[in-house]
Structure 1
Amino acid sequence: MQQSTDQLLGAYRQMKTIREFEERLHKEIMTGEIAGFTHLYSGQEAVAVGVCEHLDDKDLIVSTHRGHGHCIAKGCDVKAMMAEIFGRSTGLGKGKGGSMHIADFDKGMLGANGIVGAGGPLAVGAALSAKLDGEGRVAVSFGGDGSVNQGAVLEAMNMAVVIDAPAIFVIENNGYSEHTGADYAVGSKDIAKRSEAFGMKAIKADGCDYFAVYDAMAELLDHARAGKGPCTAEFITTRFFGHFEGDPQNYRAKDEVKRHRQEMCALKNFRARVAEEKLLDEGQLNAIDNEVLALIDEAVDEARAAPQPSADEITTDVYISYA
């Protein structure tokens, strides 16, 4: 699918922002200023951006424990995200959610989630709401290869087919469910085919190629928005860091990450493609690189300077009051 120069520059900016956000967090976590577990998204940028470039604020997404990339791609404020991760009151969740619970309903980002596979049922509920209002919206559930072995996800896929909901299950197969290889844990060896068995449309594509993700998502969105029911995309990708920060990754082959950074880097692939086809100028991309690095520096500085939540807010935002 043809994209304009502005669209391509915007997509690159989003991928670069995700990469630098995560690379900086990898360093900041070592200072001890960030509480709780953090799961970095580096390596999977093409999936989040290739999917979300098609969506607007009315479309809904549900994320995972590895959710920073999805948040940025859906338009969440980068500085407010960094403040949230630092536990500051200026964060998107007022500093009380942290890395695994970032949400912004105004952007259609229903939240990251620390429970593996929890996004599937939530997305089907959101998709049912979208179907009932008849405005052509969709709901997207992001999940890893480990999530599709959770019964809740399989039930959600079946339910989505039964009620003909405009739900799209995006499976980011990065090769590992925590520390267990997908080749071992996925009995069928093919997540897309298994999803297809529920009676829905399914596609498998290269999750390290922004253009492949973008085109696959365009096809699935046409299907879902036309009222033809749910669908699944399995994107083959990788993660450059461990399951969580501090994971020694002893389960990975020697030099595997080094090799993947060379051969499966979404940003390198993007730059090579646009250069080969003369779609963008290298100077434009370099300028974006510098702007993104400046933004991340500002986000960290502002997060550090921001106040922590006050003690009298400990019971706020816990329950919804319908009164």
Structure 2
Amino acid sequence: MKTIAVLGLGKIGSLAAVLLRQAGLQVTGFDQAAKALHDIPVLSDDISSPEVLKCLCADHDAVLSCLPYHLNAMVAAAAHQAGIHYFDLTEDVSTTGFIRELSARGNSLMAPQCGLAPGFVGIVGASLVAGFDECRSLRMRVGALPQNPTGLMGYAFNWSPEGVVNEYLNDCEVIEDGERKLVSAMEWLETLYIDGVKLEAFTTSGGLGTMCETYHGRIANLDYKSMRYPGHVQLMNFFFHELLMRERRDIAGEILTNAKPPVDQDVVYVHVAAEGLVSGALRRSEFVRTYRPIEIGGKPRTAIAWTTSASVVAVIEMVRNGSLPQNGFLKQEDIPLDRFLETDTGRLFN
């Protein structure tokens, strides 16, 4: 794998393109705005056109989609037909299901869900589970938040508002007492602390990726939650359910982003904890990190932008280096954390 097309050059896509270039790949960017991006050529071709997609796939060894989730199935189908590797950041369950079906018949690698959650958090979770003889629970929490929150909501939409609305409304897969089931989003409220900061966590959709399938029968309790500042989930339940904005997903994201636009000074919290038996004794293992903005390519990058883009780029590096499969469907929990952290980009997470 030497050449890769990056589709969608927002904050995350543009940074992923820069990191891929730094990792030694030949990168071509595709975006409607077609703005200059270092020494990376950027084209403004209409990727909604099947002919354009067919041509760009024919000219590259791999494609990374940083587009809105509803466009990923189309891109994945084109990549599959061309026999090239496919990567994306989606948390959308149905899109991932479609991509998985594609992977059953083809000779390239299909790797969705390579962002932060699902993505990096699943890699971390799997590494903790591997340390137990018998694992009774795995709890994964991620929060992407403003460092200096204002207002009752205590939030800023640094991530795709479309994606956030999906996470807050779609059902969430969990394993509870050995049973694989679906539960409602914005439930199972709990309190936790990281670096002395009080946070609340609640169920959101998509963060587990394929882990419930992988660990069903092996882990009694498995769930994923988003972390926010206290009081956030009560307001979101009011907004979506009492005001019936769940019926207006098309404008819910627009309203929320207008009220709480993105900020540059953000923070990403990761809290993953597993419990189980080691040599007959009960143990608890934790991975807790706080990630803040850093400078990459001569520019400051938000925490959510670099953690998300660095996660997928590290995976692409591993595929390029031959330490991951070259065909089929890639589950995040099958990616070794130690090798991930040894890549040039993965070292950012240390």
TM score, norm. by length of structure 1: 0.32
Structure having the larger proportion of residues in helix: 1
Structure having the larger proportion of residues in strand: 2
TM score, norm. by length of structure 2: 0.30
